[in-house]
Each structure stands twice: as structure tokens, then as C-alpha cells.
Amino acid sequence: MRGFFEPKSVAVVGVSNSLDNLGWLISANLQTFGYGGSVYEVGRHGGSVFGRPIYRSLTEIPDPIDLAVLLTPAPVVPDLVEECGRLGIRRVVIESGGFDEFGEEGLRLADRVREVAGRHQIRFIGPNCLGVFNAHSGLATPFGPLEPGIRPGGISVLSQSGGVMMTILNALTSEGLGVSKMVSMGNKLDVDENDLLEFLIEDPETTAICMYLEGISGGRRLLDLARRAEKPIIVHKSNTGAAAHRIAASHTAALAADDRVVDGAFRQVGIARVRGIRAMMHYLKALSLPPMRGSGVAVLSRSGGDAVIAADECERLGLELVDLPQDFLDQAQGRLRANVIRLTNPMDLGDIFDLDVYHDLAEATLAMDQVDGMVFMNTYVGGPEGSGAEVLFRQMHHLSERTGKPVAAHADTSEAEVSRLKKVLPGPIFDEPAAAVQALVLRRDHRRDVSADTGRPDGPADRPLVEEVLARCRGEGRHLLLPEALAVAAAYGVPVAAGRPAADEGETVAAAAEVGYPVALKVVGRDLSHKSDVGGVRLDLGGEAALREAYREMIATVAARAPGASIGGVLVQPMAPAGRDMIIGARFDPDFGHVVLAGMGGIFVEVLGDAALRVAPFGSATAEAMLRELRAYRLLEGVRGQAPADVPALVEVVGAVTRLVTDFPEIREIDLNPVRVMDAGEGCLALDARMLLGLPPSG
Amino acid sequence: MRGFFEPKSVAVVGVSNSLDNLGWLISANLQTFGYGGSVYEVGRHGGSVFGRPIYRSLTEIPDPIDLAVLLTPAPVVPDLVEECGRLGIRRVVIESGGFDEFGEEGLRLADRVREVAGRHQIRFIGPNCLGVFNAHSGLATPFGPLEPGIRPGGISVLSQSGGVMMTILNALTSEGLGVSKMVSMGNKLDVDENDLLEFLIEDPETTAICMYLEGISGGRRLLDLARRAEKPIIVHKSNTGAAAHRIAASHTAALAADDRVVDGAFRQVGIARVRGIRAMMHYLKALSLPPMRGSGVAVLSRSGGDAVIAADECERLGLELVDLPQDFLDQAQGRLRANVIRLTNPMDLGDIFDLDVYHDLAEATLAMDQVDGMVFMNTYVGGPEGSGAEVLFRQMHHLSERTGKPVAAHADTSEAEVSRLKKVLPGPIFDEPAAAVQALVLRRDHRRDVSADTGRPDGPADRPLVEEVLARCRGEGRHLLLPEALAVAAAYGVPVAAGRPAADEGETVAAAAEVGYPVALKVVGRDLSHKSDVGGVRLDLGGEAALREAYREMIATVAARAPGASIGGVLVQPMAPAGRDMIIGARFDPDFGHVVLAGMGGIFVEVLGDAALRVAPFGSATAEAMLRELRAYRLLEGVRGQAPADVPALVEVVGAVTRLVTDFPEIREIDLNPVRVMDAGEGCLALDARMLLGLPPSG
């Protein structure tokens, strides 16, 4: 990838000196940003730009070319790439639009470009993009003017949209954050975010990586790369709407809509997900602070109002305003001028006009063990008080660096002054009290959910049994029947309410006698995985008479409601003991592979969508974290004197589901619903199970 | 109040020409902002400022004074106010600190000031404040320098904190929003937000009102004023933390913690509550757009990425991207240059370089019936393209005004250019795609929950019965016992599971035989309102043996767990039919008076805090809105084929509770928990009830 960022020579194809020529703007940018390599322009009308000739073809250029940038009508691009290949040019940026994003003809052109490039071992960025910007080398291929004031630095950016790349560049410049490398990736026909991410993770000039993605190319690789990266990776993944339109085949599928999978997967590997560029900048600033090791915070403010607002936000986000020692407060009190404020934490320093006192108080506060981070807020008028404030903010930055504890600084002053500070200070400035508090929380929680247990979890696994069931289903071109699904789950260590299958009313009565009343009755059939919806479930049948009536009524109802389905009998299960009902499931996600889901059944998933997701495989530490992440976790712990539930048994079920989809990726969807969890020590029981295979069902 | 904003003469007391004198800064501000009235300075050292003499006392001033501004040490303030009174000065601003916010001595000073002012019919602002700023008259009493660039306009601001008033002033200036009047109210010893709000609502120069409040003075009056105001009222109420520390005596009390009451009350009267000054500015900008009458939206963008991001946000917030007619899209497609983009909604206009086309497309789109509002996003480089963009944004503003449909405009450009636009454009500019979408939603939903049904709801009300019960309790210095609370609820039309009281085991068995097994058993006693916590509830007792055992065990457990309590017998209730359990309650809030609460029992309130609150009294339309506001409402409607619950019966219960606290304000707390709601048409039943009186319980 380095070839894209540090070429010694660049050919820009599609240049003329017509007024509305866009290729010309690329040459202008290379000039503006002081690109030090050789630049050659190519355009079929010839002429000259910047005192250089415009060559009529790449072949006319007398020197070797490291990078070709193409901005011509789409139909001529494949031949140009062919020409690059013949000339030994191995890096190409294709900025033209009109490819796979634009109809049938475009798709054909895209295929041709890919074929030609592959044949010549050419790597290319685009098409439909702005290409590359390297603030350090001055390489700038966008065909539009760039805002002035860009500061070279450590932040690299990958964007699927050229417009959003420019938005990010503007935002970085406004925040005074320095840029290393930026790529507008366009259609990602060849080079994608993973190729570039891998390079940037190793790139010594890059200290943090931002991405704007509308779709994910190779989610699995993205996760592997991100997990290993030490640098902050901050992603705005948009285009979330489509997920809502998918038709969901099960609870697990409905809950694991794509965007929630992205959330879970990113959390799992420590990618910070943001919604919007402002939030991206905020995260970048927060992560430039030293890590916060606990939740103890001190607030120093020159405005009482700001102090109150910051304290509210601390409480809302779970930071603890630590009690400062009384002798320290008494000493500080002695530094006040009018002595009309009582000091506490948050400290209202509005009555102190000697800025050195702020520094001393901040230093003493940061030296306290119980203080893990600090919010420092300075209220002042720009212009006259700016230089003093600047000194103070620098001092806070150095204190933060020296103590290794984050100091989030807020300047409560004019917009122009904040803008100025952002450009001159070595550390971040936050523009609201709440933003400063939030930064500490982000810093504290960054990569909190990254865990090392990424292997297949150990546990029971009767592979031959599962293989046999799957082979039978595959042979008959169907998904698993209820008893099969329960058997497969059991083979991997899930305790199940197995019950007994029965083919007719007589067998049903006999089966009930064996399992013992009261019983549950469930219809079994190849197109009947949604049993409840067609009236195929009867619970709590206390005796033979009730059972017979329920059987007849159920068969009639199912036949009426699902006329095409073939009823293959019923399953007679003993009624399970009382407990809390959970859903444990998995489904195959096209971006990330199998995703495992846990949630509390009934209200929580149906009404609240309260579910935790992780990409498989993972071990029990992650499974436990999933359960703790649920809002319903308090119910598992037991509220109002209720006994706690058997969470370890539930963790084993999550492990079993993880093992199953790891060993048998052809299982596309698992839905154990409900899994009834008894009190601690008493285990759990899957009462129902659906499993779908990645096969077209025969009918 | 007008006297505070438009005095013809001002005396500033506490001025010297020492370098660190703060009073001097007030005179400087009056000068800077061109205050046209007479200004007199007073200071005990005499001297001169701005070529005027500093009088040694107010009495030395030869002319009449409309407004005195005091900035002296607190101890001399009462005498100064006395002097104002004798001189006939009826408006005073007290900026000095050191009063009720600062210890015992300060409290005494505060009392003296209040007494003196009352005696002389003086109205005063403060103490501990920055006083008044009127951008139209140039009256500026803050004792600190103000940022330059303030634009006179229609927005008035009331702030409890001087620092936050300055923050808001800076924010308004940055946003290019014009200021009318601002008041830093400080300790609000006399003039409070309601006095000023009442004036501003009538003030023709004020078009919108912003407030920053740390505490509420007279919540009831605030609500009455706000309900009648046509102008937008936007409030940042901070200082929310303390609420969490209150000890909660019941579910209702726990759920109705102060900050949630503020949320509910503000919603009820159409006050927009914001958290932070950035959000305040955003709301102001949103409310300056025409109202949005539906949810149909069109997105026009010059950047494909921005279009995707805006579409995501529309979906997230429930705006509908309407289908644009195909012939319109075809026509628009013809205006593209390279023709490499397929138009839809959101419309990616990146391929159009003729700005007139944007205007034409926007006009045609706004003319469509199904379009209720539009997001318009222009991506461009500041400087060179700025003037064209400015014209376009002006056109969008005029289209918005002409069509009466909101157009939320986003400028995706440099910070400096956005800053420039904010100052020159007649309408708002939003700085993120999501912010523009959010503005439309705020505009659509503003005052949505304001309803006119503010009277006591009609319904059953057996006043004499309730009076008798309350008199008995009052006489015995205690709260209501369980049977009394149920009787009072029943007297106001709540269907209750009344049951039969019993004094010993024998009576209990007889009572059970009368109400019919299975029964519930609940302990009754004056200090036993938390029955469950002391083991005082037994459910589902199927026969005499079980009942006797439960009785003995319950009495023993309660005696052991609540040793001081006097057990006054038990209540034997028939077991209620199955249904959904709700909590309906009320409590007295010191700021707003009685607040009524509705929530779903069990999980929803305990784990999720899902509750709706309104200030009483109100009618059935508001009661219905409360229930619909609950996340649990879907469960009342019936999920997964469940029958809907009897919501009208529940609305009646809310009405009964509202009537009760309206007729008997001494009832400080009501907790009907659970209220079991049966299926539609089958009513509901309060199974348990707690009522506390506003009396010190005798023991």
C-alpha cells in the first residue's frame, strides 16, 4: 500500500486546459501541497499546464511512473488500465464514476477493469473516488479544491465517500488536529478498507485511524486487524436503514439486524463506533488524553454554573465526584479573594483571579490517589484574557502528561477564541462542560469490552450425532424438525426438554403417560417452524381428557392455518419448572460470519429489543459480558428478594451455541427460545429450538 | 419589570478608579453598548471616571434615579437599599455575593435586604448576579467585559448563573442569533424567573425565551405562564444530581424523583427542555423554522455521503423519505452533467454544477403534497464558492417562508465559512446532516404534548367518606391503613379488591370462607406500609389448612422483622383474575404540587424506570397520552396475539387519583400497586394501596 502514498512520480490522465476540466484540479492540488515527485499530465487534446506539456498518451511519457491517476469517462478506463499494465505502472487511482454503482453497463466496465488489473498485478483505488491525500509528502489527488490550513500530523482517514472525506478533513482542520494520510476509497473494487487499515496500523506516521464506511468489505478481517491494533480506530458506519427492511425469520434474526451486529462486533474488538463527524472528532480528542484508570473525578471551574452542569453530567454517566480532603479545601479557601464561595468538589474558583493558584490546585488535586481524572473549565473573555488562559491550558496539558491522568479542559469563551485555542494548544479543548465529562468517560471505557478469549469454547460436542442429523436434513432438502433441533442442541451440551414424539392421538396419550402430566404439546412439521403463529403449541395439559381435546383442536387449527404444511406428528414435553425465560441464538451474518445472541425472552426482546451480540467464536468471559450487558441482567441477579438465576448454566448454553456454529457453519440460524433458567445451582432447560440450514428448503 | 430594562437613569454603586475595581467595568459596559440614559457613579473614595465625578453617596446625586446597581461588600448592602428606598428608587440590581448562598451571616443579610426592600416597595434582582443586559437600549450591568459582536434581535435569556448567561450570550453571537434582553438572576431573593417570564411573554421585542435554572421558584406559576405562551420557551434545568439521593418511600416516590417531574411538567406545557447550551441553540434554530405538519421529508444533497447519513437519521427518528414521482426524477436526471448518478430520495445532486437547478428542484419538491419538510445540504469550499452558496441558502430560506414548510439547511464546508454564513443568513444553518434532520423532528413535535384539559376530571367522588377517613387518621396522627386506603380509592371510583379485615386466626378463616378460596393474606398495621419487605403478604392460599399455616407464619415473620410495629390484623382478599399489573400513583412535589404517575408494574418500573408523569389536575386526554408514552404501552395493546388490555378502565383510575389529590391536597402520596388490568371490556382492580398524609406520623 505504501506505493499509493509515497510515489516518486505521478501521471494524471484526463487533463486539458479547458476551464471546467477536473483533471487540471488534481495537478493544481499536487502543486499547492508541494508534492516533491515528478508530475506528468495526459490528455487527448494535448496542450500544456503549469508550464508542462500535456502528453496525448501515457506511452509518450519519457520517464517511469509509480502512480497513475485516471479521471476520464468510464468507458475508456479499462484500456487505460491495460496501458498502465503494459508500461509497468502497478498503482492506479481511478477517480471516474459510472461503474458498478451505475447500472448494467457500469457493472460490465467494472468487471473489465478488475480483470485487466488482475492480469497485470495492478492494485487500484476506486473507481468513483477522490483518491489519496498525504499531508506529509504533499501527494493530493482529489479533483476539487481543498480548504487551506491543513495541519500535518498523525491522524489517517479512510472514507467510502469523497464528500465525507472532505468533511472529515475540514473538521480535523477546525479542531487543529493534524492529518497524516487520507483515502477516498469509492467503490472499493480492488483496494478496500482492510488493505489500507493493515498498512496504517503499521505506518509509523499514523497515530489514530478514522473511517467512514457505507458498507463493510470483509468484516472478519476488519475485526482481526482492529483487535490487534494499539492505535485508536474510530468508525462512522452509515447506511443503517436497509437493515430494518429485512424480513426476519426468527427472534434471533430480528434482533440481530445488521446494524446491531456492527455494534456488537465493533465493541468486541475495541473499534469506537460514532454517528457523525462531530462525534468522531470528539472521540479523537478524548483518546488523545491519557487513559483514565478509575471513576474518581475532580471538577475545577471558574464558573459556578459550569461546575453544576459538569457535576450533573458526572452523576449521569457514573463518574464519582471524590471527596477532597478538608485541609486541602481549607487551604484553597484561603486563596479566594472576596471569600464569598464555599469550596467543595466541584470546585467553583470564580473568586480566584490569580491564575497560578489554578495550576497549584490542579497539581495538588491530581496528586491525590482517589482522583483518576479532572475536568478543568476556564471562563474568560477572548482577546484580553486569551494569553493568560492559553498558558493555563498548556499547564493543564503538561500536568496531564506528567501525571498520566486525563485532564479534560473546557474553554467557556467566544467561538473565535475557542477556534484559536484549538489551533495553538498541544492538547484537546472541549466546547461544553458535558463534552469534557463525556471525554473522560470515553477514555475510561475505550477497549473495555475487548477480550482475548477468541477461541472455540470447550465443552460437550457429539459431532457424529450432529453430522448424521444434518446429513439427513440436507438429503431431504429441509431444515431441522423440532425434535432434531433439540437433539442437536443436547449433543452439544444444552440441557433440553426433550419430550417424546408421537404420530397420532393414541401415541400422544401414551407419550404423556410416560413423561407425566402436566404436559406441553407442540406440532412437528417441516414447514412449521413458527408453531405458535399457526396455533401449534398447547401448554399445561393436566390430564388425558384435556390432552385429547387439545390434540384434536391443535391439529385442526394448524391444518386450517397452514394448509400447505405437512404435519409430521407432535412432541409431548413435560411442563418445565418455573424460571426466567431467555433467548439464546445465532445467525450467519454476511459481513461478519456467525453471530451469537443472548436476550431475555418475552417483553425484553419483543418490546425493548434488549439483546447482546458477539461474533463467534468466543469463550465464557465474553459470554458472561454479553449477559451483563443486558438491561434484563438485573432480573437474572434477582430483584426484590428474588433468588439469583443460574447464570453459569446460561453461559454454558451460549458456549454450546458458539461451538455448534463454529463446528457446523452450514447451520445458518439457531433460536433456542425459551431457555428457562432456574435459580442458581438448578440449571436451565431449552424448551424449544429452531435450526435452519444454509440450503434452499425444498418447498 | 419594564423598569429594569428601560430605566432613564442608572446609578452604579461601588465604583472607584482603582485598577481592580469591578464597579468600574459596569460603567464601561454602559458606555460600550451606548446606553442612552444618564449614568451616575457612587463610591466612598470619590474621584472620577469617564470624565464624571464619583459621588460619595447616592444622596449626593442631584437627579432622580430609576435604577440602582449595587456592587459593594455584602454587609453594606442593606443600608444602601434603605437609602434607595428613602430616595424613591424602586428598582435595584444587587450584584454583590455573600448572602444566602454563603453561610449564617449571609442568610441574615439576605433577610435584612428582603425586609428593607419590602418596606419601600422596591423590586430587586439578585443578589450574587450580573444583572441586566438589553441589547436594544444598551443597558448593560455585568461587571465583566462582554464579547464583541452581539447582534440585537428577539431572543431573551434568563439565567440563574452569571457565567452561564455569558456562555449563552457567546453562543447566540456565534450562531448569529439576535439578542433582546438578558437577566442574570443570581439568588432570586425577590425577582424570579416567573416575574421576568411574565414580562417577556408580553414583551413585543422578545420572540423566544431561553432559561438556565438551577432551581425552580414557583413551578406551578411557571407552568401556567408557559402553557399560555405562544413564544418558544427553552429551558436548561440543571442541578439534577441531588434527586438521586432522596430516600424514596414508595414506587411512586422513587419514580417521581424531582428531575423526572421536571421532564413531565415541561412536556405538559410545551417547554422545550435541553441539556446544555449547544442543544439550546439547536432548539432555537429549529423553532425558527415554519412548523412541520407531517413526517414526509425530501433530502437534497450535493454529497452522496451526506445524503446517506441524513437518510439514516430520518429512519432512526421516524421521518419518512417520501417516494418522489418518477416523471419528476426523470426530469431531474436530465439536468445532471456527467449522468453517472441515479436519482431517488435522498437526491444526490453531486453531478449538478448549475446552482439554479438546485433551486428549481427544491421548489418543485416543496410543492408536492406529500412533502412536509426538506433537508437541503450543500457541500462546497469556502472562499471561492461562498457567494454562490450564500445565494442558494437565501433562496432556500425564502422557499421555506413562502411555502410554510421547513427547509433545514446544512452547509458542509469549512468552519470559517459556516461561521460566516451564520452571521449573514436570515435563517438557520445546521452544521451536521443529522442536526438538520433532528431540527425537522423538533419542529414537528414542539408542543405536541400540550393539551387543554387542565381541569379536575369528572367522575365518582364520595367526599364525606374520604373526609371521615382522613379525619380519623389525622386524629390518630397516622397514615392510612390498607383497608382505609382501598376504601378511599373505591370512594373515588377505583375498582378495588376490597376483601375482609380480620383480627385473629379464627376471623381470618371465617373471612376466607366468605370471600372464597383461593385468597391472599396481607398484614395491616400503622407502620407496615411496606408489607412485602417484612414478609406481610401471602398469595394464592387454596384452603383452610394452608391459610392457617400462612397466617401463623406471616404474623411471626412480621413481628420478627418489624419489631416496633403494631400489627392491627390482616386483610383477606379473593385472588384476582390474571391480567397486566400497573402502578398508578401520585405524590406531592415541592416545586409543582401533586404529580400523577403511571407505569407498568414489576420489571418495567423496577428495572427500566418506565413511568409517565403529569402535574395534576388534568383530564382523560392527558391520562391517555401518559399511558401511550410508556414503553410498556405495547404490552397494553397486546403483543403476539394477546388481547388488548382495558385501557379505558385504567384511564378512569388515573382520573380517580387525580381527583383525589385535587380534592384532598393533604394526601401527600398515593401508590396503587398493583392495579391489575384485565382484557378490554373486563375492567381493572387495585389489589393494593398505600396513602400517606402530609402529617408527621405519631411514631
pLDDT at B20 over 60: yes
Span A512-533, average pLDDT: 88
- What confidence tens digit (pLDDT) does each residue in B445-463 have? 998 888 888 889 999 999 9
d(CA B600, CA A208): 46
- What confidence tens digit (pLDDT) does each residue in B562-586 have? 888 888 899 999 999 989 999 999 9
CA distance B322 to chain A (A): 14
Peptide bond into B127 cis (omega under 30): yes
pLDDT of residue B250: 52
**What is the separation of C-alpha A190 from the centre of its chain, rounded to a whole number of angstroms?**
23
Flag if A315 and B341 touch (Cβ within 8 Å).
no
Flag if A432 and B277 touch (Cβ within 8 Å).
yes
User: Nearest residue of A to residue B353 by CA position?
Assistant: A20
Minimum mean pLDDT among A338-342, B40-44, B388-392: which range?
Answer: A338-342
Flag if A275 and B639 touch (Cβ within 8 Å).
no
Flag if B241 and A415 touch (Cβ within 8 Å).
no
pLDDT of residue A343: 78
Flag if B312 and A238 touch (Cβ within 8 Å).
yes
The residue ranking higher by pLDDT, A445 or A344, is A445
CA distance A303 to chain B (A): 5
> Contact at 8 Å (CB) between B671 and B605?
no
The single-letter DSSP state of residue B215 is: S
For chain A, the straight-line distance linking the first and the last C-alpha, in angstroms and rounded, comes to 49
**Exposed, middle or buried, A38 (CB in 10 Å: 0-12/13-18/19+)?**
middle
Report CA torsion sign: B563, B564, B568, B572: negative
Average pLDDT of chain B, as a whole number: 91
Average pLDDT of chain A, as a whole number: 91
Task: Indicate which of B302, B603, B605, B636 best probes the interface with A, i.e. most A CBs within 10 Å of its own CB.
Answer: B603
Span A34-52, average pLDDT: 94
Task: For A500, list phi and psi in degrees, rounded to 5.
Answer: -130, 135
Partner-chain residue, chosen from B166, B433, B635, that has the shortest CB–CB distance to A603: B635
Whole-prediction pTM:
0.91
Task: For A48, list phi and psi in degrees, rounded to 5.
Answer: -150, 155
Flag if A415 and B173 touch (Cβ within 8 Å).
yes
Span A498-519, average pLDDT: 93
User: Nearest residue of B to residue A640 by CA position?
Assistant: B533
Q: Tell me which residues of chain A, numbers 166 to 225, contact chain B at a CB-CB cutoff of 8 Å.
A: 166-167, 170-171, 173-174, 212, 214
Is the CB of residue A19 less than 8 Å away from at least one CB of chain B? Answer: no
Flag if B308 and A102 touch (Cβ within 8 Å).
no
User: Nearest residue of B to residue A411 by CA position?
Assistant: B167
d(CA A655, CA A605): 21
> Contact at 8 Å (CB) between B143 and B95?
yes
Residues 6+ away with beta carbon under 8 Å from B202? none
pLDDT of residue B338: 66
* CB-CB neighbors (< 8 A) of A333 in chain B: none
> Contact at 8 Å (CB) between B98 and B106?
yes
Span B657-669, average pLDDT: 96
CA distance B138 to chain A (A): 19
pLDDT at B403 over 70: yes
For the record, the C-alpha cell of B201 comes out as 411573554
Query: Do β-strands B91-94 and B123-125 pair in parallel, antiparallel, or remain unpaired?
Result: parallel
Is the CB of residue B379 less than 8 Å away from at least one CB of chain A? Answer: yes
Flag if B312 and A241 touch (Cβ within 8 Å).
yes
pLDDT at B630 over 60: yes
Q: Tell me which residues of chain A, numbers 606 to 645, contact chain B at a CB-CB cutoff of 8 Å.
A: 606-608, 631-632, 634-635, 639-641
pLDDT of residue A250: 52
| pLDDT band at residue B367 using 50, 70 and 90 as cut-offs | very high
- What confidence tens digit (pLDDT) does each residue in A424-483 have? 999 999 999 999 999 999 999 998 888 888 889 999 999 999 999 999 999 999 999 999
| pLDDT band at residue B695 using 50, 70 and 90 as cut-offs | low
| pLDDT band at residue B252 using 50, 70 and 90 as cut-offs | low
CA distance B662 to chain A (A): 32
Flag if A160 and B305 touch (Cβ within 8 Å).
yes
Minimum mean pLDDT among B241-255, B580-594, B637-651: which range?
Answer: B241-255
Partner-chain residue, chosen from B164, B342, B413, that has the shortest CB–CB distance to A305: B164
pLDDT at A101 over 90: no
Span A649-673, average pLDDT: 96
Partner-chain residue, chosen from B73, B163, B381, that has the shortest CB–CB distance to A306: B163
Minimum mean pLDDT among A118-132, A555-569, A681-695, B164-178: which range?
Answer: A555-569
pLDDT of residue B254: 56
d(CA B351, CA B346): 14
| pLDDT band at residue B247 using 50, 70 and 90 as cut-offs | very low
Partner-chain residue, chosen from A103, A309, A379, that has the shortest CB–CB distance to B166: A379
Minimum mean pLDDT among A30-39, A443-452, B399-408: which range?
Answer: A443-452
- What confidence tens digit (pLDDT) does each residue in B196-224 have? 999 999 999 999 999 999 888 889 999 99
Is the CB of residue B129 less than 8 Å away from at least one CB of chain A? Answer: no
The residue ranking higher by pLDDT, B384 or A597, is A597
Span A523-534, average pLDDT: 82
Query: What does the DSSP assignment read for B571-609?
Result: EEEEPPPS-EEEEEEEEEETTTEEEEEEEETTHHHHHH-
User: Nearest residue of A to residue B238 by CA position?
Assistant: A309
Partner-chain residue, chosen from B160, B244, B350, that has the shortest CB–CB distance to A315: B244
Flag if A341 and B170 touch (Cβ within 8 Å).
no
* CB-CB neighbors (< 8 A) of A603 in chain B: 603-604, 632, 635
pLDDT of residue B697: 40
For the record, the C-alpha cell of A365 comes out as 488535586
| pLDDT band at residue B245 using 50, 70 and 90 as cut-offs | very low
Q: Please report the number of interchain residue pairs, chain A to chain B, with beta-carbon separation below 8 angstroms.
A: 209
**Residue indicated by cell numbers 373486563:** B682
User: Nearest residue of B to residue A72 by CA position?
Assistant: B338
pLDDT of residue A384: 79
The residue ranking higher by pLDDT, A595 or A531, is A595
- What confidence tens digit (pLDDT) does each residue in A577-586 have? 989 999 999 9
d(CA A258, CA B13): 67
> Contact at 8 Å (CB) between B343 and B329?
yes
Angle, to 10 degrees, between the axis of helix A162-174 and the axis of helix B415-424?
80
Flag if A173 and B414 touch (Cβ within 8 Å).
yes
Span A65-73, average pLDDT: 96
Flag if B167 and A278 touch (Cβ within 8 Å).
no
pLDDT at A52 over 50: yes
* CB-CB neighbors (< 8 A) of A244 in chain B: 315
pLDDT of residue A565: 80
Span B161-187, average pLDDT: 95
Flag if B312 and A278 touch (Cβ within 8 Å).
no
pLDDT of residue B89: 97
Partner-chain residue, chosen from A161, A236, A419, that has the shortest CB–CB distance to B303: A161
- How large a percentage of chain B has pLDDT more than 90? 75
For the record, the C-alpha cell of A187 comes out as 467503490
* CB-CB neighbors (< 8 A) of A350 in chain B: 163
d(CA A84, CA A66): 10
Span A384-398, average pLDDT: 93
ipTM exceeds 0.90 = no
